[in-house]
Amino acid sequence: MINAESYYLRNPDIVAVGTAEHYLFINVDGLVLELHTQHPAHWSYLMQTLMVPTRGDTLRRQLSDSLAIDIMDLTPLREQGILLEASTTTELESRRDDVFTNNQGYHFKRGKQQCAHLVVALTGSIIAGFMAPVILSLCYTGFHSQIDLILTEAAQRFTTRDFFEFYGIRTWVNAFDRRDGVHVPHISLGQSADCLLVMPASAACCQRLAHGACSDLLSMTVAATTAPVIIAPAMNTTMWNHAAVQRNVQRLRDDGMYVIEPTLIFSAVELVHQGTPMYGGLGTFWRGALGVIHTLIAVMNHHRRRYGSHGVEQVDPAEPGLRGILEAQR
């Protein structure tokens, strides 16, 4: 039930991941609520709206007028703490602002291996410079047996190949690299990957992947893989809402890729002067490496359920609109 006089906010600790017909909501404990929907773009817009406290009557009006979302679908989200409710905006704003202080960059608790071969790609977003703690944490925890890192040409403006290779992480910067017996990198990486994470993904990267450009190592590798591909867009609010960018993002979802909904972050151009938060940052940034681990596991589990071991989609004709399934990551 959405109270007309209450205020609502998307829980900033929740990671929301959208694909062609599903949304996955992943909480801090790694539990997952799975939503089946034919309108992922509508849910994406709702996630953006709820990044600021929104009054219940306004939310109801948006749901009925433009989003075509059943208001009853919000009930499980509210019950599971994905949608926060308060009588005033102050409490919700305080909870939202906490993410700028109470966040953890590293996660160094060892766990069991979840992925045989993980491929991570950094693109030309300034957020690429913040990804080292996440990648090093993935390595330290033993999340994967093998990791390969792809740096696009633009990503090298914000980080370096040498930095990661000094830590023993095999890093690729162009489609013609030859090393360790690998002569065609995009084929080797694409065929052996169990999961491919593009984090952060710039607007230009989303455009290349949406159109199957095959113009650089990353887009070629994505075209050459059947593994789940997770896209974490990072850009400013205006770019994220540009019609062409939204078309590209929807095409990524339609093609079966998983798109992490952006969240709050500091604007690069305002940080030194005012530190103004903006919408459009990396969806798991404030959750740190543990949030990335939970997200990767949730997506791989979902992909296995949908496509099985042979990459063929398993369609359940009786699938309900909202699957109130909360499952612990294994």
CATH number for 57: 3.90.930.60
What is the predicted pLDDT for the residue at 325? 46
Among 69, 100, 131, residue at a domain's last position:
100
Question: Which structural domain, as residue segments, surrounds residue 169?
Answer: 115-310
CATH number for 164: 3.40.50.1950
Residues 207 and 289 in one domain: yes
Q: pLDDT tens-digit profile of 245-299?
A: 999 999 999 999 999 998 877 656 666 666 656 555 666 667 789 999 999 999 9
What is the predicted pLDDT for the residue at 146? 98
328: pLDDT strictly greater than 50:
no
More confident residue, 97 or 227: 227
Residues 139 and 266 in one domain: yes
Residues 91 and 138 in one domain: no
Residues 131 and 276 in one domain: yes
Q: Please state, in angstroms and rounded to a whole number, the distance separating the CA atoms of residues 278 and 194.
A: 33
Q: Tell me, yes or no, whether 177 lies in a domain.
A: yes
Provide the pLDDT confidence category of residue 102 given band limits of 50, 70 and 90. confident
Long-range contacts at 23-29 (CB < 8 A, ≥ 24 apart)? 24/258, 24/298, 24/299, 24/302, 25/77, 25/80, 25/82, 26/291, 26/294, 26/295, 26/298, 27/80, 27/81, 27/82, 28/287, 28/290, 28/291, 28/294, 29/328
Q: Mean pLDDT, the chain, as a whole number?
A: 88
Residues 195 and 165 in one domain: yes
What is the predicted pLDDT for the residue at 317? 43
Q: What is the mean pLDDT of residues 200-226?
A: 97
Residue 325 tokens read as 């399934």
65: pLDDT strictly greater than 90:
no
Q: Tell me, yes or no, whether 189 lies in a domain.
A: yes
Residues 51 and 159 in one domain: no
Number of domains in the chain: 2
What is the predicted pLDDT for the residue at 252? 98
Q: Tell me, yes or no, whether 27 lies in a domain.
A: yes
